[in-house]
Structure 1
C-alpha cells in the first residue's frame, strides 16, 4: 500500500500562534511535525486590518505547513474547526508528490 501524503497549509492571525501551535502539539496521535513562519498577506480584504496594516498595504499572518497522511487531514481540520470556530482560520490542502532528506 502506498502512503498518500498531503500538505495542509493554515493561515491565521499572528495572535493565535501560541494557542494554535499548542493545539497541534497536543493532538493524539501526534502529528509528524509542522513548520511555522510569519508572513504578510496582500490583496483584497482589508476590512479587518489594523491601521498599521492598512497603511503598509499588507496583513500580518502566521502560516503553518503540515505534511501528513491523507487520512489525517480531516482529523486535524475537525480539531481546528472545534477549537477555532470564529478565528477566520484559512486553510488549503495540496498533494505531496515526493518527500525526502538529502544527507
Structure 2
C-alpha cells in the first residue's frame, strides 16, 4: 500500500449491498479488501427513506469500510458513482496513522 493511508467509509441502502460489493470486487488493485457492516441511519431528514423506514424512524443501511492509499479514493468513488448512482450513498474519509495485521 502507499505511504498515506486513509479509511474510506461508504454507507448505502441495504438493497444495493450486492451491487456495491460487486463494484468493489472489480477493483482489486485499488481495494485490496473491505468490511461490510449492517447499519441503521437516523436523522432529521428522512425524505429518502421508504414508508416503512419512516414509520420505524430509521433507514436500513450497509456500511463498507476499507483502508487504502489516499490517492486511490477518487477512483473508487468515481466507480461507485458511475455504476450505482444513488443520492442515498454517503461517504467520508479519515486518516489512518498505522495499519497492520497481528500475527
Which category of TM-score, normalised to the shorter sequence, fits these structures? 0.7 to 0.9
TM-score w.r.t. the length of structure 1 is: 0.88
Q: Which runs of 4+ in 1 moved over 3 A?
A: none
Q: After the TM superposition, which residues 9-28 of structure 1 pair with which residues of structure 2 at under 5 Å, given as runs?
A: 9-28=9-28
Structure 2: gaps of 5 or more residues: none
Give the corresponding residue for 2:50: 50
Q: CA deviation at 1:35?
A: 0.4
Q: CA deviation at 1:23?
A: 0.8
TM-score w.r.t. the length of structure 2 is: 0.88
- Are 1:12 and 1:87, in contact at CA under 8 Å, matched by a contact in 2? no
Q: CA deviation at 1:28?
A: 5.0
Cα RMSD, aligned residues only: 1.6
Structure 1: gaps of 5 or more residues: none
Question: How many residues are matched?
Answer: 102
Give the corresponding residue for 2:73: 73
CA deviation map 1:66-93 (0-9, x unaligned): 1001111111011112112235311111
